[in-house]
Structure 1
Amino acid sequence: MAEAGIAPVEPGVADAAALGFRLGFFKLVVRDLPTMVRFYIETFGFQERDRVALPGLEEVMLALPGDRFTLVLYHHTDGRDITVGNGHGPVGFTTADLDGAMARAFAHGATPMSGPFDLRGLRLAFIRDPEGHEIELIQPPVPVASKE
C-alpha cells in the first residue's frame, strides 16, 4: 500500500532502494570562481577533487576529507550575469563549534544573516558566502557523558 501522497510504483519500474540512489553533489553557480574556491577551502576545509573546463563553463569539485558528497562550484565563462535567487534554501553544515565556525567564515568574507539562536537543542546561525549564497550552520547538542 502506498503512503499518503506517494503514487504507487508502476509495474516493471525498479524500486528506488534497489536503484541505489545516493546524494552525490550540489552545485552553486558563482561569478568569481577563484574567490569562491578559496572561500570554501579556507573556511570549511574542503579539498579540490577535480576541475572541468568546457566551452562556456568551468566547474571545480570540492569535498570535505572523508566525505563522498561534493560541492560543485559552477562558473559560466561567457560573462553572463548571475543573480542569487530564492529558488533554493541554504547549504547546510554541521559544526562542533558554532561560534568558531562563524568567526572563521566572517574572516574569509562571509556576512551575517541571523543567529545564533537555539532551536530544539541545536544552535543555529545563517550567514552568506561572499557572493550571497545562504549557508546554515548547525551545532548539534553535546552528548551528555554517561555516569557508569
Structure 2
Amino acid sequence: MTELLINLDVPDLEQAVTFYEQAAGLRLRRYLFDGSVAELEGAPVPVYLLHKEPGSAAVAASGLRRDYAPHWTPLHLDLVVADLDSALARALAAGARLERGPTDEAWGRLAGLRDPFGHGLCLLQWRGRGYDEVAD
C-alpha cells in the first residue's frame, strides 16, 4: 500500500495554519523540523505546510524560484464538504478568494477558490452518488 501525504509550500507558516484550520476545518497536530513545517490533521491524509521564502529555489538543480502570486497548477486540492455555502463562507472569511462559482453540476456543486498563498483549491458538494452520477 502507498501512503499519500500532501505538502504545500507557504511563505507564512502561522498564517497558513490559521487559514487551513478556519477554511478547511483541519487541526494543527505538531510542528516539525525546528518549526519550519506544520503537520495538519483532520483529512483522510496528513497535510504538511512547509515554510519556504518567496524567491527561494523550488528545485536545487533548476533556476525555478518559488512565486506565491496567484497561480493554478495541474495538481490542486479538492475539499469535499457537506454544505458548500457554509464552507464557502468560512473559506472566504479565512482569506480565500472566489475564482469560480458556485456552479451546479450533474454530480453536485463546485466553487473554485485561491488560498492566500496563490494555490488553487475547489470546494465540492456531492449530489446523489457524486462522480458516479456521471460515470460511463
Q: 1:119 aligns with which of 105, 120, 132?
A: 105
Structure 1 portions without partners, runs of 5+: 1-19, 144-148
TM-score computed with the length of structure 2 as normaliser: 0.76
Q: 1:59 aligns with which of 37, 40, 60?
A: 37
**Aligned partner of residue 107 in structure 1, secondary structure:** helix
Q: 2:74 aligns with which of 73, 88, 111?
A: 88
Structure 2 portions without partners, runs of 5+: 57-64, 130-136
Q: Give aligned pairs, total.
A: 119
**Aligned partner of residue 37 in structure 1, secondary structure:** helix
Q: 2:116 aligns with which of 97, 111, 130?
A: 130
- Residues 40-93 of structure 1 show CA distances to partners (whole Å, capped at 9, x for unaligned) of 012222111221125xx81101011xx441111001369736314544332110
Identity %: 32
Alpha-carbon contact 2:109-2:124 (below 8 Å) kept: yes
Give the AA of the match of 1:76: K
TM-score computed with the length of structure 1 as normaliser: 0.71
Trace 1:12-51 onto structure 2 (pairs within 5 A).
20-23=1-4, 25-51=5-31
Q: 1:97 aligns with which of 60, 71, 83?
A: 83
Give the AA of the match of 1:48: L
Higher relative contact order (CA 8 A, sep 6+): 2
RMSD: 2.3
**Aligned partner of residue 137 in structure 1, secondary structure:** strand
Distance in structure 2 (CA, Å) of the matches to 1:79 and 1:113: 25
Give the AA of the match of 2:110: L
Greater Rg over alpha carbons, structure: 1
